[in-house]
Amino acid sequence: MSLWPTDQLFRTPATYPAPGFEAEGVRALFYEGLPWRGRPTRIFAWYGAPPHAPGERLPAMVLVHGGGGTAFPDWVRLWMERGYAALAMDTCGGVPSWRETPYSSPCWPRHAHSGPAGWGNFAQAHLPPEEQWAYHAVAAVVLGHSLLRSFPEVDPSRIGVTGVSWGGVLTCLAAGLDPRFAFAAPVYGCGCLGGESVGLTALAGVERAKVERWLELWDPATLLPQAAMPMLWVSGTNDLAFPLDSLQASYRLPQGARHLAIRVRMPHAHGGPGEKPPEIHALAEALCRGGAPLPVITGQGREGRQAWVTFASATPPARAELNYTRALGHWTDRFWNTAPATLEGTTVHAQLPAGTTVYFFNLFDDHDRVTSSEHVELA
């Protein structure tokens, strides 16, 4: 028997007013969540749609915030400015409080119909799954998708999902659970979180048996093999919580097309770095509005210290770079170097500096959007 009640999750949830919550250009609402401890729950969300002609069907985005966050109206407006409808929900039973500075409050006020609080809740992994945060947070994402699909101005075949940090973890889980998404773009967050380099501070002091139970229930690796939609993985070489080895193990699991955008020392933050990677917008445009497809790495290899990748792209890259480290140890602590790589037709190549332990290539277009190869570890 499946853990997930998809018959409920794929139905349009009931909605309720959210008096007292106002933000320019968007509307606040609550929608029905799954029951928690025998009582009904509700999920707070912001929704917005750009101006559109009568009968027009818009592409849309589901936006999943990260740790310490809530539903952010600015994020909804960002996608509205791009011509998309968008829904951003709170996944921790909270509501925005403008007494706090957006993006900085560690604990948003809870409301009368909240489900379990986040994040991770590794220490509560012994509880029944239906009482744990991850169960309700993933349900909030999928139910938000079901709600978005019901709006007459939204084209249900052109809805993507993106999430930041813990929201990226939820995005991976939702992608494996909900095949209706047109694409998924986790930022930082991934699966395979049992490794030594994973920097989730929530693990500190938690007995190993509970961590193992949490991984068994909620690690995205449990659902990612079922994901068949295109996925874009956005992260940095030194991410504080989600190291490159976990990221690589995760992006190799889904069945669909894979795109990587890995930047050297990309900051880990919500606002600009997490919400605005230009590659996410480019993928949405390609899949939902007939835009140019993202470049694709078609092969890669190495002979001695000569490394190369091949690619397919509608337009030639503006430049290419080799990223490499000579370090070993914890992924967050490794120093990365960048050197120019040579572009020849549909091939990029470079000589690996002596002592290289890990490397990958980046291709950039005229808008500084990046396409990355897989990283390669050397003996």
- Structure confidence by residue, pLDDT tens digits, 253-273: 999 999 999 999 999 999 889
pLDDT tens for 98-138 read 544 454 445 688 899 999 998 888 989 999 999 999 999 99
Who has greater pLDDT, 292 or 272?
Answer: 292
Q: How many residues in total does the chain contain?
A: 379
Residues 307 and 249 in one domain: no
101 is a domain residue: yes
Distance in angstroms (rounded) separating the CA atoms of residues 112 and 119: 19
Instruction: Give residue 104's pLDDT.
Output: 46
Residues 214 and 66 in one domain: yes
Of residues 83, 87, 79, 89, the one with CA closest to residue 58: 83
- Name the DSSP letter for residue 296: E
216 is a domain residue: yes
User: Under a CB-based contact definition with an 8 Å cutoff, are residues 365 and 318 in contact?
Assistant: yes
- Tell me which of 235, 259, 288 is where a domain ends: 288
Q: H or E element: which one contains 287?
A: helix 278-288
Residues 169 and 141 in one domain: yes
Instruction: Give residue 118's pLDDT.
Output: 86
Of residues 47, 50, 52, 74, the one with CA closest to residue 62: 47
Band of residue 2 on the pLDDT scale cut at 50, 70, 90: confident
Average pLDDT over residues 198-219: 89
Residues 150 and 223 in one domain: yes
- Tell me which of 288, 321, 353 is where a domain ends: 288
CATH code where residue 225 lies: 3.40.50.1820
Q: Which domain holds residue 371?
A: 296-377
Who has greater pLDDT, 119 or 161?
Answer: 161
Domain count, the chain: 2
Residues 138 and 182 in one domain: yes
